[in-house]
Structure 1
């Protein structure tokens, strides 16, 4: 119990010391705004009238197979053995035994690299008019964070339809970094159907801050409920602290 209290206090202190984390924490209104936006879009995600929402081209990149190992240099040949009457009719023994084929190991790279970005289309929809106006009133860094969070929610659903993300926290288990409009979150979390899952992603935003140019992510395991409070993860859209 004391350990959980200490971890929670440490996480709270980290959020107050780090300027980027203060932006994330101070963006609670925008987080709720995007959560409402996502909730409004969830029924439309499976609407046949919006085919592009489901027809997402995703490239799974596997690690390259190791290069073939060159065969060893042949050893110096011995002088040919003398043929005797006892060995003249014996079949010749092969010099080498065929090697057992080795199955290539499975790739451990679980990164998903979509070829189509989705957040701009969501924000262009008339239902997103108020959310878009609020987003444009945010500061540069905060706006990038919220735009990338929205992209993360949409891409996770496009990747696996059983996920219905309604909230993303970029700073759940480690500090995100933001450099030249590129947000990197190695310890993020995404909420779907009132459960939290680990996620890491890299998001590159355009110079005008209107759309995401590139995005890639990797889903982690489900986060146990016992760790939600320590990592400032809310079970609903109410205050998380």
Structure 2
């Protein structure tokens, strides 16, 4: 009986040469399986990278919102920061008024002959034509801001300081006045501080040497804008539009042809 059991165990046991073969090659077999597993893992990872969707590109948001006033083509950009717009109509009356640099404001909207202040560009020696001051008899900034397409601008204006908010409203008024007084002009940007800083005196904003862009050309502009007690409604406005600004100095003064 014992002999039978030994024979049975011997039959169940693997052959000696097979055991020796496995023992000698066990490290090699383990390494092979490890490489196969690693290859499969890397293949799956590559597949995941091709299947997973690309993350969306980041969206940049302007701090100062843009708005589209009435009748403005949807391709134009308007920025409250430098006030863009197009709307309504005006039949201005010409008056004259000297603008003497940064001391040009007064308690009343004055009238006499005026010359548009020249930019402080030492390389510019061309003669600048005299410009008549135009006194507006209708105002449009409030109508533009009340347009449904200007909802974002209306919401943003109260977040500005009182001084900045007044300046933006007056810049918007300047663009509107020029657009309706001059057929063919399509103002798309205004830079109140282009050549000289604007300033405020009581309820009046004075821009002695700004720049207005229309049809991708920059023009000299100066204006005075009076606001009511709330600082939100224009109650008086006059401006002088000058000659086109020499293209060679646009970059120097930050006057972009587009955007």
Q: TM-score range by the shorter chain?
A: 0.5 to 0.7
State the partner residue of 1:37: 68
Q: TM-score, normalized by length of structure 2?
A: 0.55
Instruction: For residues 182-237 of structure 1, give each alpha carbon's deviation from its aligned partner in whole angstroms, at most 9, with x where no partner exists.
Output: 11111100011111000000011122122111110000000121111111212222
State the partner residue of 2:101: none
1:203 and 2:225 matched? yes
State the partner residue of 2:13: none
1:53 and 2:101 matched? no
Q: How far apart, in 1, do the equivalents of 2:196 and 2:150 lie?
A: 30
1:122 to partner: Cα distance = 0.9
| Matches for 1:1-241 after TM superposition, within 5 Å | 29-30=63-64, 33=66, 36-38=67-69, 41-43=71-73, 53-54=88-89, 56-61=90-95, 110-237=132-259
8 Å contact kept, 1:58–1:115: yes
Structure 1 residues without counterparts, runs of 5 or longer: 1-27, 45-51, 65-107
1:109 to partner: Cα distance = 5.8
Which consecutive aligned stretches of 4+ in structure 1 deviate over 4 angstroms post-superposition? none
Structure 2 residues without counterparts, runs of 5 or longer: 1-61, 75-86, 97-110, 113-129
Q: Which has the higher contact order (CA 8 A, sep 6+)?
A: 1
Q: How many residues align?
A: 156
8 Å contact kept, 1:172–1:188: yes
Higher alpha-carbon Rg = 2
Q: TM-score, normalized by length of structure 1?
A: 0.59
